[in-house]
A and B are shown apart, each in its own frame.
Chain A
Amino acid sequence: MYKRIAAGIQAIGHRAIDGIWRLGCAARFFILVLLKSTTSFLRFGLVIREIYFVGVLSLIIILVSGLFVGMVLGLQGYETLQKYGSESAVGTLVALSLVRELGPVMSALLFASRAGSAITAEIGLMKATEQLSAMGMMAVDPVARVVAPRFWAGVISMPLLAALFSVMGVFGGYLVTVVFIGVDEGAFWSSMQNAVDFRYDIVNGVIKSCFFGVAVAAIAVFEGFDAPPTAEGVSGATTRTVVTSALAILGLDFVLTAFMFRGVD
């Protein structure tokens, strides 16, 4: 009995040490990527090519999701607000929810599952099929040539996608409340204009999405590069990218929100 408890505690300890070890590896890898980013900026074409794959090809899912989230927000908001006779404030509700929270968070979650998983799978498969070793043997550093451009493409794409998500959301809210339900158009836009502050709401939302972009891109490239070079290894790494990114996004969102919106003007 005593031995089994000791073994259990030992196993927990091992897992904790492994986790910390991996975190250390990820941090070192992140610094390595930053140090080897010169090529990405000197040959920006490499980054633009990746922006197409991770950013442009994610547009459909981001735009459609943004539209529907905005439409649902509009419906739910109108449903509640009209009870108090303040349905004209629905514009404020839609815009603030999107710009502060739903835009950055939802688009980051979608980005992690659409683009983050693709980056991990691509780098992992390149490793499994010895493409990264081949590159190294050709005296080309795979971190500088393959990893860094994908990382920066993710970092650059994320805030742009979040902004588009919010824009589509606001449009969705307008469509449902003004066009379909018939809320006064002037009231919808003017309440939004009065309530949304550029520095306090929009810039903070953009800052959030920048943080999420760094987190998702860093997790995706690390998991891909670290994946065991087997089919099982790559599939496990892809799953880990989505799960870890989602947790990182939600955790970071709380921390950032606590710093940005403390209820004090």
Chain B
Amino acid sequence: MSEHLIEIKDLAFSYTDRPILKRVNMTMSRGQVIAIMGGSGSGKTTLLRLIGGEVKPSAGHVEVAGQVVHQLSRNELFKLRRKMGMLFQFGALFTDLSVFDNVAFQMREHTNLPESMIRDLVLMKLHAVGLRGASHLMPAELSGGMARRVALARSIALDPLLIMYDEPFTGLDPISLSVIGSLIRRLTDALGMTSIIVTHDVQESLKIVDYVYFLADGAIAAHGTPEEVKGSTMPFVHQFVHGEEDGPVPFHYPAETYRKDLKLEVQFV
């Protein structure tokens, strides 16, 4: 079996005539935590959706565990997805089910395990994220950080090969943020899976990841290990890592000239 769990080759995607991704190439190995960073609208979430097979590429392909995702039939895709987990930005817990039932959901849907074994497994998964005592609560009773930890427990329910995290650090307090960060690292190491984190949070993610890709305008602008990224002199990477307002990423959205928009009469000669 190939060392790489995911291979992305010349991947392009566009919504009607608006290109989102242009010729993206990436490889991701087993046991790695990889961050994909970039400004809003740079195509990060679309990349996750392409890996998960939610949308089809306009060119190129994504290969997961040796299978080209967009060529799979619906049944084959669903089979592959059983080996994937996805953590949505705000957890996306099923609000009509308790914490316990949320984590047990996939086990009940995809396996014939007896209820006693499901109970043990769910409690083990919840213990891993420190929420065994909250198994009886409903999602509405959880804080944002707790909901995301439950969602993390749910996404590792069937011990997947790959977990994708869509902005896992958004809107968390510093303690929850660091807890989620270290959980991602620990679970990846313990389960030997691959984690892909789409994030804006440079400082937190550089602490836990093995490799970073920067996306800008739908293409890879830079990539490297956290050390390489921190020491990079590339203007784009420098601006992003240090959160500078001015640089290759413009502050202003493209517009008419300021003078024209304000309808200024004065002409300078």
Known contacts A137-B84, A139-B78; is A130 also within 8 Å of B109 by CB? no
Q: Which of A131, A137, A141 has the most CB of B within 10 A?
A: A137
Report the minimum CB–CB distance from B209 to chain A (whole Å): 22
- The prevalent SS among residues of A at the interface is helix
B54 touches A139 (CB 8 A): no
| In the complex, A13 has a CB within 8 A of chain B | no
| In the complex, A38 has a CB within 8 A of chain B | no
A139 touches B89 (CB 8 A): no
| In the complex, B82 has a CB within 8 A of chain A | yes
B88 touches A134 (CB 8 A): yes
B95 touches A138 (CB 8 A): no
A129 touches B82 (CB 8 A): no
Bitwise, B80-97 to A at CB < 8 A (1) or not (0) is: 011011101110111100
| In the complex, B105 has a CB within 8 A of chain A | yes
Which residues of B lie under 8 Å from residue A140 when comparing CB positions? 105-106, 109-110
Query: Which chain B residues in 103-118 approach chain A with CB under 8 Å?
Result: 105-106, 109-110
What are 23 A-B contacts with C-beta separation under 8 Å?
Answer: A126-B94, A126-B95, A129-B95, A130-B88, A131-B92, A131-B93, A131-B95, A133-B54, A134-B92, A134-B94, A135-B94, A136-B81, A137-B54, A137-B81, A137-B84, A137-B85, A137-B86, A138-B109, A139-B79, A139-B81, A140-B106, A140-B110, A145-B109
Known contacts A137-B52, A137-B84, A139-B81; is A130 also within 8 Å of B90 by CB? yes
Residues of B at the A interface (CB closer than 8 Å) are 52, 54, 78-79, 81-82, 84-86, 88-90, 92-95, 105-106, 109-110
**How far is A177 from B109 in the complex, measured between Cα atoms in Å?**
56
Which residues of B lie under 8 Å from residue A138 when comparing CB positions? 81-82, 105-106, 109
B90 touches A139 (CB 8 A): no
Q: What residue in chain B is nearest A136 (Cβ atoms)? A: B54
Which residues of B lie under 8 Å from residue A131 when comparing CB positions? 92-95
B110 interface neighbour in A133, A134, A139, Cβ under 8 Å? A139
B89 interface neighbour in A125, A130, A135, A141, Cβ under 8 Å? A130
Which residues of A lie under 8 Å from residue B106 when comparing CB positions? 138-140
Report the minimum CB–CB distance from B214 to chain A (whole Å): 25
Which residues of B lie under 8 Å from residue A135 when comparing CB positions? 94
A130 touches B81 (CB 8 A): no
Q: What residue in chain B is nearest A39 (Cβ atoms)? A: B109
Number of A-B residue pairs having CB atoms within 8 Å of each other in the complex: 48
Report the minimum CB–CB distance from B154 to chain A (whole Å): 8
Please give the number of chain A residues whose Cβ is less than 8 angstroms from any Cβ of chain B in the complex: 15
Known contacts A129-B92, A139-B110, A140-B109; is A134 also within 8 Å of B86 by CB? yes
Report the minimum CB–CB distance from B157 to chain A (whole Å): 8
Report the minimum CB–CB distance from A29 to chain B (whole Å): 17
A130 interface neighbour in B52, B85, B92, Cβ under 8 Å? B92
6 further A-B contacts with Cβ under 8 Å, apart from A131-B95, A137-B81, A138-B106, are A129-B95, A130-B88, A130-B90, A136-B81, A137-B84, A139-B109
**How far is A135 from B106 in the complex, measured between Cα atoms in Å?**
9
Q: What residue in chain A is nearest B78 (Cβ atoms)? A: A139
Which residues of A lie under 8 Å from residue B90 when comparing CB positions? 129-130
Q: Which of B82, B85, B88, B89 has the most CB of A within 10 A?
A: B88
Q: 4 closest Cβ contacts across the A-B interface?
A: A134-B92, A130-B92, A139-B78, A139-B81
B88 touches A133 (CB 8 A): yes
**How far is A73 from B191 in the complex, measured between Cα atoms in Å?**
70
Which residues of B lie under 8 Å from residue A141 when comparing CB positions? 78
Which residues of B lie under 8 Å from residue A134 when comparing CB positions? 86, 88, 92, 94
Which residues of A lie under 8 Å from residue B79 when comparing CB positions? 139
Report the minimum CB–CB distance from A118 to chain B (whole Å): 12
Query: Which chain A residues in 116-163 approach chain B with CB under 8 Å?
Result: 125-126, 129-131, 133-141, 145
Report the minimum CB–CB distance from A31 to chain B (whole Å): 16
Which residues of B lie under 8 Å from residue A126 when comparing CB positions? 94-95
**How far is A47 from B90 in the complex, measured between Cα atoms in Å?**
28
**How far is A130 from B45 in the complex, measured between Cα atoms in Å?**
13
**How far is A133 from B45 in the complex, measured between Cα atoms in Å?**
13
Known contacts A139-B78, A139-B79, A139-B82; is A133 also within 8 Å of B92 by CB? yes
**How far is A129 from B89 in the complex, measured between Cα atoms in Å?**
10
Bitwise, A99-127 to B at CB < 8 A (1) or not (0) is: 00000000000000000000000000110
